């Protein structure tokens, strides 16, 4: 079994093709382990720092195959369970679908990045899939940081 993005790349876009600026200096400084870094290198440093934690859950991550029925946000399972990961992935898919409806002319990769931003703040907070996709997200860099970390994990752990 492959990772979510390998399974769903045709439908939701290829995470490796999503353009990203990575984490802001503020996000990197707040992390503590990437202090003084910014951009993709900061996100990669934070991803590398979390590598051992992610490796503990890689088998569960690889098993997740989600029915996209997002919207029910009552937590399922413990935070580190397969059930909870499936729920979170379903919520992400829900937001990608919302962004696809809101911005039908954008590429799958732009819609994927917009879905990641919407996962953080809701699709109503996403006004653009261009430069301002993170305008209303945590740290104003949420999707860019998540994409850069996901690309690092895809390259280094898959």
Phi, psi of 39 (to 5 degrees): 75, -160
What is the reported pLDDT for 64?
61
For domain 4-157, say whether CATH 1.10.530.10 is its number. Answer: yes
Mean pLDDT of 5-27: 85
What is the reported pLDDT for 81?
78
Tell me if the pTM is above 0.95: no
**Does 109 score more than 80 pLDDT?**
yes
Query: Cα dihedral sign for 78, 83, 87, 88?
Result: positive
The whole-angstrom separation of Cα 143 and Cα 30 is 17
What is the reported pLDDT for 67?
40
Contact 135, 128 (CB under 8 A): yes
Contact 73, 94 (CB under 8 A): no
List Cβ<8 Å contacts ≥24 apart for 118-124. 119/91, 119/92, 119/95, 122/95, 123/95, 123/98, 123/99
**130: confidence class by pLDDT, cuts 50, 70, 90:** low
What is the reported pLDDT for 80?
72
């Amino acid at each position: 079994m492959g990772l979510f993005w390998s399974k769903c790349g045709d439908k939701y876009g290829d995470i490796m093709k999503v353009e990203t600026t990575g984490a802001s200096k503020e996000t990197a400084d707040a992390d503590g382990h990437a202090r003084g870094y910014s951009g993709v290198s900061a996100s990669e440093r934070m991803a590398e720092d979390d590598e051992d934690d992610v490796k503990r859950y890689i088998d569960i991550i690889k098993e997740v195959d989600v029915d996209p029925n997002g919207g029910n946000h009552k937590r399922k399972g413990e935070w580190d369970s397969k059930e909870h990961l499936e729920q979170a992935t379903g919520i992400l898919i829900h937001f990608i679908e919302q962004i696809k409806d809101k911005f039908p002319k954008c590429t799958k990769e732009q819609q994927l990045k917009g879905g990641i931003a919407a996962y953080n703040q809701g699709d109503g907070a996403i006004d653009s899939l261009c430069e301002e996709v993170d305008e209303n997200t945590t740290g104003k860099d949420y999707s860019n940081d998540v994409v850069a970390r996901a690309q690092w994990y895809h390259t280094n752990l898959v």
